[in-house]
Every structure is written in structure tokens, then in C-alpha cells.
Amino acid sequence: MIKTAVVGSTGYVGEELVRILCAHPQAGISYITSHSNAGQRYSEVYQSFNGLLADVCIEENIEELAGKVDVIFIALPHGIACKKINKSILDKVKVIDLGADFRIKNKETYEQWYKTEHEAPELLEEAVYGLCAWKRDKIREARLIANPGCYTTCSILSLMPLVKDGLICTESVIIDAKSGITGAGKALSPGTHFTECNESIKAYKIASHRHTPEIEQELSEFALKDIKLTFTPNLIPIQRGILATCYAKLLDKSLKYEDIREIYLKYYKGEYFIRIMQKDVYPETRWVRNSNFFDVGFKVDDRTGNVIVIGAIDNLVSGAAGQAVQNMNIMFGLEEKTGLKTVPVCL
Amino acid sequence: MIKTAVVGSTGYVGEELVRILCAHPQAGISYITSHSNAGQRYSEVYQSFNGLLADVCIEENIEELAGKVDVIFIALPHGIACKKINKSILDKVKVIDLGADFRIKNKETYEQWYKTEHEAPELLEEAVYGLCAWKRDKIREARLIANPGCYTTCSILSLMPLVKDGLICTESVIIDAKSGITGAGKALSPGTHFTECNESIKAYKIASHRHTPEIEQELSEFALKDIKLTFTPNLIPIQRGILATCYAKLLDKSLKYEDIREIYLKYYKGEYFIRIMQKDVYPETRWVRNSNFFDVGFKVDDRTGNVIVIGAIDNLVSGAAGQAVQNMNIMFGLEEKTGLKTVPVCL
Amino acid sequence: MIKTAVVGSTGYVGEELVRILCAHPQAGISYITSHSNAGQRYSEVYQSFNGLLADVCIEENIEELAGKVDVIFIALPHGIACKKINKSILDKVKVIDLGADFRIKNKETYEQWYKTEHEAPELLEEAVYGLCAWKRDKIREARLIANPGCYTTCSILSLMPLVKDGLICTESVIIDAKSGITGAGKALSPGTHFTECNESIKAYKIASHRHTPEIEQELSEFALKDIKLTFTPNLIPIQRGILATCYAKLLDKSLKYEDIREIYLKYYKGEYFIRIMQKDVYPETRWVRNSNFFDVGFKVDDRTGNVIVIGAIDNLVSGAAGQAVQNMNIMFGLEEKTGLKTVPVCL
Amino acid sequence: MIKTAVVGSTGYVGEELVRILCAHPQAGISYITSHSNAGQRYSEVYQSFNGLLADVCIEENIEELAGKVDVIFIALPHGIACKKINKSILDKVKVIDLGADFRIKNKETYEQWYKTEHEAPELLEEAVYGLCAWKRDKIREARLIANPGCYTTCSILSLMPLVKDGLICTESVIIDAKSGITGAGKALSPGTHFTECNESIKAYKIASHRHTPEIEQELSEFALKDIKLTFTPNLIPIQRGILATCYAKLLDKSLKYEDIREIYLKYYKGEYFIRIMQKDVYPETRWVRNSNFFDVGFKVDDRTGNVIVIGAIDNLVSGAAGQAVQNMNIMFGLEEKTGLKTVPVCL
């Protein structure tokens, strides 16, 4: 059994980690930490764990945890993990960081978008961007995983095959993404107060959301050239789910649906967690709810020469805790889908 | 591995059965039937099963299935199962009926509330009412299980300890129950059209819902006297969950919260799926979502002498498919919680 | 034109007052106050007022406002209005308080339920409980209106005809009320964070909600005897609406639906804002949404001798701002429905 | 008083027309027709009208109505109005068609997108596309108004100033629009069954929605060249509201927010129903709910050279019935906002 610690266990991503790990057949939770709920039973914070988890939240001490467990999951706001992690810790324990601190390879880009100094630039090279479908080999050897963001996972998986094969005009990429409100986290704010976000739709952080450089970085790596794109996130009054609608000009206007499909099959055929929809069927977030799946569908708009690729994930699972556990499975040599075989809960 | 067939697999209860059985470590789905989707892949009906279940729905033929599987789950509208099941089928296969046909022991009561003749009265005595927490011993020996209704499971589990110990005035019982809209099923109707039930609350079938005699039958059996009660169901714009708020006059006004708690502990202590909330904490449907748990809390209203008992379940799991699988586990000698250990999905 | 001031204009009840008064043909808003948004344009707080209201929120000074307007609406948390209002203010201006401070006639009862000392007990006798349908004559003469609570308006209007005519056992009354989440107000809290109340149902303050003594006071006055009842409020994930389901034993078991209907017609026939549903049709909150209507339906449960009365209102209109404006209309001799003729928005 | 008839009054657009006309100070409803509810009281179909509208739905007979009223509103599925309307009817009565039949000027384009023959091509030239802000002068003289679609109103108003002034690359336009579910109408379907669209997001009719040619026609007219664009509609689990997010490449990359703002002010300054948001504030559908407003905000993405324009309307009001009444007001010489002054209901 792999011994795990979950740091920041009472945030929403933390809760999903705890929920998934509770049911993992080859890993166990040894420690759960929470600054705001230290001293409280986890099941008092989330009554759903009544009778299932008797643990009490402790204050986080990564130094100490490093000697006691095999892997530490960190689910903290950005800017904290990079203060806590260093090479001596990585000598003792594997770390999967679900925050943003190690995702952006370029220190300046990070600081520009996150408006804060990066305190562990020396780890940026070592950190592996944990997008399982595309970075499996590096993940296997990694000591430090930068678990991808939710919008980013969905956006990159949607566009990567087209980018990798050089089929789209990289100046034309637009992503209009819609997210359920768990994506905004547990912190109270007027914009996530029920009565102010229910029964309404809104875009936010238009062309300025921090997941933008992360998507650009990964797509650029595979495009072998610098990509800049426009990214618009929207909040939708549902619990979970991201739908990323990606638009790009096809370089070859003669490409048909079937051609595009072939390319996605080429890259994704063996991927258990990636499902390519049938023709004229499009992802809906309910089909992946509560699961680690990424569903993708596409349409060629002959009239305009655009291809529209639509991807869907559960933001808390494939977009956070699920992919983190998948990363752990890869790092520890387990079958990738161990503990992640949940059938999506469509109702 | 137990071989199962799911008859009526594309209704909502059927879908939950298929979903739960897909992940059951000691049972497998051999056949799924659907009249309306015969010939279609299950994953075309519910895209959530893409890549997980390749089966095609067949037309139901219980006679034939009886010889091929160990247990048949029937998830059909009332009035059909009683036409299909007979003693010769039960000689060959175990049957768990999730409909209403075998729940009411009294043929006249059934016919009066369901407005249809009962076509297999000879099976009413043999059928075991599958409320696991209270009928475990009989379930173990049963060939035919009448799986309890959703409102009924929640209501009976909420009230039974008080009724069994004779603590409440049985003429005073009122149940005001709230259900998510999956409870109304898959059939289209104006009342479950999104725009006509979203953002609204309504009671329906007031003092006339068919789960009433079922609750009364079970409570009466344990009260050793005839109970009549007022039952009001409400539809609430959420997917899943039932909250049953039960009111009754305490016979002994000196009883305190702690006394009531003792009684619930006496009956429910060893029950894995029953959780008694701490004082001043009350069930919310989210704490049991997607799980087989029943949560219960209570309050003594000193001012009026009423006890208020609040129970919560997931109507599709503990209120239907989950309890059906628990029944199967008991019938086949498996550990009761096999395949049902899901942590509730509270977000 | 009646000159009005709205004190506490940026809370939800305040917003509804401003919205309704904006469209009132015989009243105008002279001042809007807000402690938390003082100095801000109202339309910055609520963008819905863009282009419609250019006013800036000021700090509240009731003393000063009293000399400048005809009526002051106060929409503040309990315990504040009773510090601000006194006889010398009432000599200058009419006051409609939408908080709880002047609703409970008995100082001790107020202090017991609200856990705070009442600072203006000398005004309790003068204050008129502004339940328009039952207190019209007193309202006409009043200087100080205690505008009824939301649950209370719905509950009292539902039960009053039966209580007034002595038809129910007053020891048997149970009210199970469901409210949309605007009822919990604008203050942020975990329980009204979208992701923690959406897709769930919960009861709260069971047998201890502060609207209980208010309902009891009014029913007792008309029953000519002391009534104690059990009241359970529930939060439902919708914006607006209250459904109050009231249960009571009929003293005369031979009463039929038609008899009950007669009684409601006797009391409510001329009431523009009270609508009695047809037989077998029950209120749904959507039918009154955004309007000042109170809809009521009922069912006699012959099997148990209970009558079930179901009332529905929009908690922000008839349950707060709408009735407050109706009170103003009565106080100033306008037609009662002036400015309140909105057709309910059912979609 | 203008005498009106509403044909197709029990659909959702019909209901909104009836609701708005009920409160219109200078128009009255003389006849309401409904094929599916002929013979029923309107208030039985929509209980919200109890006590407000005693009318009974009649079978539609446009010929006959033409002689009795001043204006007929037609809210029927496409393909019907063009069979019913002809020049002799227009000699007698003004017609405002809320369906699609007279929106597309080019018969072939209509037939290609709507897959049906157009039966009144001789009226296409006469019909005026009733987009009030841009076609006011023609509307004033019109006998037949083609009331714009919901997505189209929101999309055209969002983009028109940029198109008119030739500021964007017309090959680059992408519209990603999100709609509440009333937009899908009253007809039952699995995709609008509560449990199958709640808690999920989905795109549909991608690059093939019938509002596409309508948007293209209007933008092309003002661009003085042929525009083709990609349009993706999405269904969001809310009642009302459309958010149209429009993307286009700026031809002049040096344009700043302030420049764009100037252009919108130039065209929209006097428009009561059009509100330009402040910098860094973006439309949310709740700010226009239940009102005839169109809110618009924009962002220049310096990094990519795209401009993002976000528009919001209430699909049933400004996107259908509200604009229809505004058209009537213009046609009959009333002040445009008569009967449409509702403050948006943001809670």
C-alpha cells in the first residue's frame, strides 16, 4: 500500500483527493492536513465521510510528512507550495502539486501572470507537467509533478492532436470554456453566493485567466513554435464539469470530419480515459461527471474553414484529483486506472 | 461471479443498477433488456457508458433469462412484473423486483391504490419486502424480493425505531418528503420539463401517493397495530436525493434528545449504511449523494411535544438500485456492502 | 407623489423595495441608504439598475430623513430599527419596518427568541402588524408598521381561516415550509455558497426558527387562545419562493373539500392578492414568482382526519417588499394594488 | 387602445407576449389563440394568470382576426405563418411574426436552412426585419414585421458597430452563445427533460443552427459584403438569458478599449434598451433578466489582436416578445418603451 498525505485536504480539490484515495485499493491516506480545520475530524467538515474516515485534520508540516509517507499531494493556493518544497524534501518523498507553482516553466511568465515572485525557480526544470496522456514517460521518473489545471487539461487534450500534426493556423485559436462552480473553490465570494450565480451565465477574466499561459506553453511545445491564443472562461450554475469549445482555422480546407477523427484516433486510441464521440454526437459534461474521462467531439465548418473541437471533463476529477491519482499510479508503477474506474454518474 | 440480468435497463433505476453492477467485484451483467431501446448499444442510450459497456439491449424474455442467470433485476413500471413472474420462474432464478407489484401484501390494498388488478396474488406471501436493515433474515432465504420504494425506504427507516418501541402516538404521524426529479423517472411530462419544474417547488399526490400504504404496512407490522398516516411528497429541482421530515407526538413528553438517540442506536448501531447524525446536525441530501447511506437526525420540540425525525437518502441508490444490490448480496451470502462502498459525492 | 427613503437598500429586501418603488406610479425614491455601499452608485452594486437609477447610496440618518420624506422603509437586520425609531420620529414620518423588531408584541417573547434586549418596548403597542389582508383597518391609521416575515405571511394566510372559524385542533398544527435561497439574504455563508446548497435539500433551525412565535402570536389572536405549533423551515436551491405546507387535525371529520373552500372564500373573496386554487390544483411557487400574490390550495385527508393547506408566495415580494409597498398604499390612501400589478413570471 | 391578437399564445413566446401585453397601458388583448389548448381558459394553462386574465383560447383564424384587431402577433413554429399571411390580410391588419418565416430575405437560403419550401416568397421584400435599434425607420412604415430570433438579436447587436465601421476581419468572426432552456420551447424532448439537462452543459447544432444565416444576412447588409461566420449555441441549465460571446480579429491592432467604446457609444448612445458596461465589467444574464435590455461589454486582447464582445439579453423578452412589443410601439407611434419599462429582476 502506498502511504499518502493530503496537504490542504479540506478545499474542494482536497476533498476529491480524499474521496478518491479512500476507495483506492493500493493506496491509503496516512495524514490529512488543513490549516483552517486543524484539530477537527474530517467528517465534521464533510459529513459525507461519516463512518468512513475517522481522521482528524492536522496542521501541515511537509518537512515532517516527507519522512513518513511515500507521496504528498499538495492542494493549496498558488504561491505556497513553492515555498515549502525543495530538493531535500524531494530526496525523501514524491510530491504531486495540484496548484500552479510548478506548471509554468518560465519563471518570468509565472510571475507576470501570477503577480508574485516564484520562490523555487530551481525546481522548475525538474518538475514534470503531469498531463498523463502526453507526458507518461517523464511522469514515470518524476519526483515532482505539476498537476495540470482544470481548464488546461480540457483545452490541451482537445487541441493537441491538431497542433501536433500542424493542421491548424496557430494564430487563430480561440477557446471558450464553461465551468461548473466547484471550479471557483470553497472560498466564499459574492460571485459564488448561490443567489448571485444561480440562474445566470457570465464570462470572467476574459483574455486574462491564468490558465492561458499554461495552455500556450504545452501547445507551443508540441507545435514547435510559439502559440498565443484567446481564452475565455465562463461560470455556469452547475456543480461540476468543464466544456471547452475550441475554434481554429484549418490550414487545409479540404479536411473532412473523418480525417480529423483519424488524427484523434492516432493519438488517443489506447487511452482508457479519452473517449472520442461518434459523428454528430457531442460531449456533454454529464457524460463524464464524477469520472476521470475526457470526452471529445468535433465538427468541420465547411462554410468558414473552421474546425470546432469540444472537450468535456469533470473539473474536480480529470481536471484535478483524478489526474493527480493517475499521476501517482504512473509514478508508482501501478496500472493507470487503479482506483479511477468509476462509471460516470450521468443522473 | 454472480450472473445477473437487468430487465428495464434504460429507465433511471435500470441505469443505476447497470452502473452499480458494472463496478461490482463479485457480480457481472449478462443481459440487459429494454423494450424502447432494443437493438441499441447501451452506450448510445447513456453515453456515460462509452468504453465501459459494449452490450446491446435486448427485448425482455424472463422465461428464457431464468435459465441463464442467477438473479434477475426487474425495473419496470408497476403491473408488469406480476404478469411475468410465477413459481416456475422462481424455481429457476432469484428475482429482485424494483417495482411495486410485490410490496403490498394485501391484494385489495394494492388494487385500490394502483387501480389495477393484481395478476399474481399467489406470490404475495412468498415475496419478501427487501428493507435490508429490518428484514435481513427473511431476505437471506428469499427467492423473490420486493425492493422497497424510495420514499418508503427513507420514511420507514426514519420512523421505525420510534414505532417499534411504541414511543409515538400512531394517529399523529405526518411525513413531508422532498424528492429530486430523477424520482419522477425518464418518461417525458410537462411537470418534469426543465423549464416547468426548475426554480419552483410543488407538492403533488397529496395524501394520495402510492407509497403511503407501503409505509403504513411496514410500520403497522412492527407497531402490532394499524397505522394510518398523512404523506405529502414534493418535487424539488435537483437531480437526486430524498429528505423525509417525519412528525409525531411523543407519548412520553419527558423524553429528551438523548433518549431518542439511544433508541436509534439500539436498532441501528451495527448498520454500515445507517448513520445517526450528531446533536444539532441534520441530514442534507448532499451528504448521501451517490451512496447507499441513510442519514438520520432528530429534534424533540419541547414546546409542542412533537418529535421531528429527518431522514435522507439518494433515491436512486439506497432508494432503489443500491438497496437492490444489497439485497442480492444478502441473498447470495456476500458481504452486504460489496460493490456499494462508494463515498458520497458531496460536491 | 409619495416621497420615500429606503434604509438598508442594498440587502435583498432593500433591492426589491427599490425595484418595486422604481416602477410605482405614485411614489418616488428620494433617498437610498446603505452602510456597506455608502458612496457607491446603486447601479454599481446592482448592475440591473444601470440606466434606470442614478442615485448614490448614503449613510443612514433616520433623524434627518424623517424631516424630508413621507415614509421610511427600513430593511435592516433585527435589533437595529428599535434603536433608531422613537415617538418623535413617528411624529414626523411614517415608518414601515421590514425587520423583526416590532412584530412580536410581547417583549419577553422577542428577547427570548432573538437573544437580545428590546430597546423600544414603548413602541410595541403602537406598532401595527402589517398583514394587509387581516389588519387593513389598523394599517390605515398606523404610523409604524411591523411588516410581516416571509414564512409568517405564507403560514398565517394559509391557516387563518381555519383558525378563525375554530375548525382545527390547535394542538395539532405542523408547518413544513420550503424557501428559496434569497430568503437567507445577501450575507455570505458556507450554507449559501452555491456549491454547498445547490443540488441538495436541508431543514434548518428545526422547531427553533424565529418566525415561529410570530406565526403563533397572530394565529392565537384570532383563535382567542394560545397556540403553539411546530415549524420546520427548509432551504431549497432556487432563487425565490416559499411553499408552506400546513397540517392540522380537523375537529369535525365530516368536513369535505367544498366546506373548507367555502370558508376560504368567505374570508378571502375580495382579496386581489389572494388566489384560491381549483380543486386538485395546488400552488407551485412559479405561479406567484415576482408577484405579490398568495396562492392557496387544500386537501382533506379522509383517512387520517387531517387537512393539508398549502400556501405559496414570492418571499421577496409578498413576503417582504411587496407587502411593504401594499402597506404604504393603504397608509396613504392609494388603491392597494398600485405599483404591484405585475403578472407573475412563471418562466 | 391598440387591439391585439396573439396567435400561438400558449407557447413560451406566446406566454411572454400575453404577460407583457396584460400590463401594457396602451394595448389590450382581444383574442388569444392556441391549437393545443383551444377551449381552455388561459389561466388553466398558466396558473400565473389566475385572477388576471379570464380569456379562453380559441382556434386560430387569421382571416377573421384581421378584421377585428389592429395587430396580430404570430408565435408559431416556422413554416406556418408563411401559409397564413398574404397581401389581402396585410391590407387589413398589421402583423408581427415572431417565427422565422420572413426573416431571411433570400428564399433559397431559407429553404436550404429550414428544409421546407417557402410559401409566400412574394412577401419577403415587404417584410421588415424588426431589429428596432437598426431598422426603426422602416419598422415605422411596415405592415409585416419579421421579429428577430433570440440568438440573432443578441449576436447582431453585439457585433454591428464593429462591422458597420469596418473594424474587424469579417472572415474571423466566431460566436459562442449560451442560452437558457426556455429558448428550446415548450415541446417535450429528452434533451430538455429536467434530469437530462440540469447539471450539465452542452453545445448543439454546431455550425448548423438556423440563426446563423439570419445573423450573416444582417451583418452582411451593413458590412456591404458577404459575411460567413461560425456560430455555436449551447444550452445552459437556467430558465432565461442568452450570453453571446463574439470573437473577431481587429484589423487595426492599435485599437484600445476606449476606441471600441467610442464606436459603441456612437451607435447606441440614445438607445434606452442598450446599455454599455463600464470597463472591466461584463454582462451577466441576471442583470437583464425579465427586461428588454441588451447589455454589452468588450475586451481587447492585445496578445492576439482579437476583440471579444459579450452581449446579454433575456431571450424571451428582448429576444422575442419584448422586441415584438417594441416593434408594435414603433408601428403605432407610441413611445418605444411603453409597457417595457420593467426593471430587470436580478434576484
User: Which residue in the list D132, D150, D197, D246 is annotated as catalytic?
Assistant: D150
Q: What is the per-residue pLDDT across D197-217, written as a single tens digit (0 to 9) for each?
A: 999 999 999 999 999 999 999
Q: What is the pLDDT of residue A168?
A: 98
User: Which residue in the list A82, A150, A154, A246 is annotated as catalytic?
Assistant: A150
At A224, the pLDDT band (50, 70, 90 cuts) reads very high
Bridge partners, residue B111, by sequence = none
> Same domain, yes or no, for C200 and C294?
yes
Task: Give the span between the Cα atoms of D23 and D26, in whole angstroms.
Answer: 9
Residue A140 counted as domain residue: no
| Mean of the per-residue pLDDT values of chain C | 97
Residue B243 counted as domain residue: yes
Are B194 and D199 within 8 A, CB to CB?
Answer: no
User: Which residue in the list C132, C150, C197, C246 is annotated as catalytic?
Assistant: C150
* CB interface of D with A, residues 285-324, below 8 Å: 285-286, 289, 299, 301, 303-304, 306, 308, 310, 312
> Same domain, yes or no, for A180 and A252?
yes
| Mean of the per-residue pLDDT values of chain A | 97
> Closest by alpha carbon to A147, among A269, A346, A326?
A326
- Pairing relationship of beta strands B306-313 and B242-249 according to DSSP bridges: antiparallel
Q: What is the per-residue pLDDT across B275-287, written as a single tens digit (0 to 9) for each?
A: 999 999 999 999 9
Mean pLDDT along residues C209-231: 97
> Same domain, yes or no, for A8 and A97?
yes
Angstroms from C345 CA to nearest CA on chain A: 14
Angstroms from B100 CA to nearest CA on chain C: 22
| H/E run at residue D311 | strand D306-313
> Same domain, yes or no, for D64 and D173?
no
Residue B335 counted as domain residue: no
Q: Provide the number of CB pairs (under 8 Å) joining chain A to chain D.
A: 147
Are B202 and C285 within 8 A, CB to CB?
Answer: yes
Residue C143 counted as domain residue: no
Chain centroid, CA B251 distance in Å: 29
Residue D113 counted as domain residue: yes
Cell of residue D62, nine digits: 387569421
For residue A347, the chain C residue with the least C-alpha distance is C199
Can A154 be counted among the known catalytic residues? Answer: no
Q: What is the per-residue pLDDT across A319-328, written as a single tens digit (0 to 9) for each?
A: 999 999 999 9
Q: What is the pLDDT of residue B265?
A: 98
Q: What is the per-residue pLDDT across B139-182, written as a single tens digit (0 to 9) for each?
A: 999 999 999 999 999 999 999 999 999 999 999 999 999 999 99
Chain centroid, CA C69 distance in Å: 23
Task: Give the span between the Cα atoms of B141 and B135, in whole angstroms.
Answer: 11
At D27, the pLDDT band (50, 70, 90 cuts) reads very high
Residue tagged 411587496 (cell numbers): C322
What's the whole-model pTM score?
A: 0.97
Which of D188, D237, D238 is nearest residue B193 as measured by Cβ atoms? D188
For an interface test with D, the pick among B194, B199, B202, B315 (most D C-beta atoms closer than 10 Å) comes out as B194
> Same domain, yes or no, for D79 and D155?
no
Mean pLDDT along residues A17-36: 98
Residue A321 counted as domain residue: no
At C66, the pLDDT band (50, 70, 90 cuts) reads very high
Task: Give the span between the Cα atoms of C288 and D237, in whole angstroms.
Answer: 21
- Count the domains in chain D: 2
For residue C200, the chain A residue with the least C-alpha distance is A239
B202 touches chain D (CB under 8 A): no
Residue tagged 396613504 (cell numbers): C332
Task: Give the span between the Cα atoms of A342 and C166, in whole angstroms.
Answer: 58
Residue A324 counted as domain residue: no
> Same domain, yes or no, for C172 and C255?
yes
Are D47 and C277 within 8 A, CB to CB?
Answer: yes
C239 touches chain A (CB under 8 A): yes
> Same domain, yes or no, for B162 and B310?
yes
Residue B83 counted as domain residue: yes
Residues A292, A153, C196: CA angle, nearest 5 degrees: 65
As a whole number of Å, the CA-based R_g of chain D is: 20
Q: Which residues contact residue C168 at a Cβ distance below 8 angstroms, ignoring those fewer than 6 apart? A: C159, C162, C248, C249, C250, C251, C307
Which of D229, D247, D285 is nearest residue A200 as measured by Cβ atoms? D285
Q: What CATH number did the domain enclosing B303 receive?
A: 3.30.360.10
For an interface test with A, the pick among C13, C36, C193, C238 (most A C-beta atoms closer than 10 Å) comes out as C193
Q: What is the pLDDT of residue A294?
A: 98
Q: What is the DSSP letter of C122?
A: G
Contacts C189 to A, Cβ<8 Å = 188
> Same domain, yes or no, for B176 and B307?
yes
Q: What CATH number did the domain enclosing D68 receive?
A: 3.40.50.720
Are A199 and C239 within 8 A, CB to CB?
Answer: yes
Contact predicate D39/D340, CB 8 Å: no
> Same domain, yes or no, for C231 and C282?
yes
| H/E run at residue A144 | strand A144-146
Are B22 and A48 within 8 A, CB to CB?
Answer: no
> Same domain, yes or no, for B117 and B164?
no
Q: What is the pLDDT of residue C162?
A: 98
Q: What is the DSSP letter of A321?
A: I
Task: Give the span between the Cα atoms of D69 and A305, in whole angstroms.
Answer: 49
Angstroms from C292 CA to nearest CA on chain B: 16
> Same domain, yes or no, for C199 and C79?
no
Residue tagged 396573439 (cell numbers): D6
Mean pLDDT along residues C50-68: 97
> Among A111, A126, A141, where does a domain finish?
A126
**Domain extent at residue A243:** 151-315
Alpha-carbon dihedral of residues B207, B213, B217, B219, nearest 10 degrees? -30
At A32, the pLDDT band (50, 70, 90 cuts) reads very high
Task: Give the span between the Cα atoms of A230 and A216, in whole angstroms.
Answer: 10
**Tally of residues, chain C:** 347
Taking 50 as the pLDDT cut, the residues of chain B under it are none
> Same domain, yes or no, for A54 and A163?
no
